[in-house]
Amino acid sequence: MSLAHKDVTAGEALPPAPDHAGCTRVAPILQRIGDKWSILIVMVLGGGPRRFNELKRQIGGISQRMLTLSLRGLERDGLVTRTVTPSIPPRVDYALTELGDSLRAPMQAIGMWADTHYETIQAARANFDRRAEAE
């Protein structure tokens, strides 16, 4: 059925727009947990609490600033706790909360899916790139 101008002005109603409220609501959360650094931090902390420099060494390639920002975001979202032990120098430990720990299984499943389908995805990319070059 075509909705020509006359159809709309004749009183026919357009179908209701889909409700994207759920997408809008979860988008910031998906952005946080889908971030490369957040995934790596959660996976490293899955082995137990770590100090800042331990995290930095184990993750590799992350700047001090990016690690700080990522940890703050994860803490803000309730996925990580930051515990300061008064000493000289102060000891700061990061650990997963119960909520953060519950994220490990879905992340591992996605990682396993990516590993299982790696060759297929690489072949699809190469095929796409060949077609794009031919155009």
- pLDDT of the chain along its 135 residues, tens only? 444 445 555 556 666 666 677 788 888 888 888 888 999 999 999 999 999 999 999 999 999 999 999 999 999 999 999 999 999 988 999 999 999 999 999 999 998 999 999 999 999 999 999 999 988
pLDDT at 26: 86
pLDDT of res. 96: 98
- What was the pLDDT predicted at 119? 97
Q: Is residue 90 part of a domain?
A: yes
As given in the structure block, the two tokens for residue 17 are: 């727009």
Q: The domain containing residue 91 runs over which residues? A: 22-102
In a domain, 132, yes or no: no
Q: Is residue 36 part of a domain?
A: yes
Asked if the structure places residue 84 within a domain, the reply is yes
Residue 11 lies in a domain: no
pLDDT of 118 = 96
- Predicted confidence at residue 2, as pLDDT, reads 47
Residue 57: the pLDDT is 96
Structure tokens at 135: 């155009």
Alpha-helix runs per DSSP H in the chain: 5-9, 21-34, 36-45, 52-59, 64-76, 98-102, 104-116, 118-134
pLDDT of 1 reads 46
Question: What's the CATH number where 64 sits?
Answer: 1.10.10.10
**Number of structural domains the chain divides into:** 1
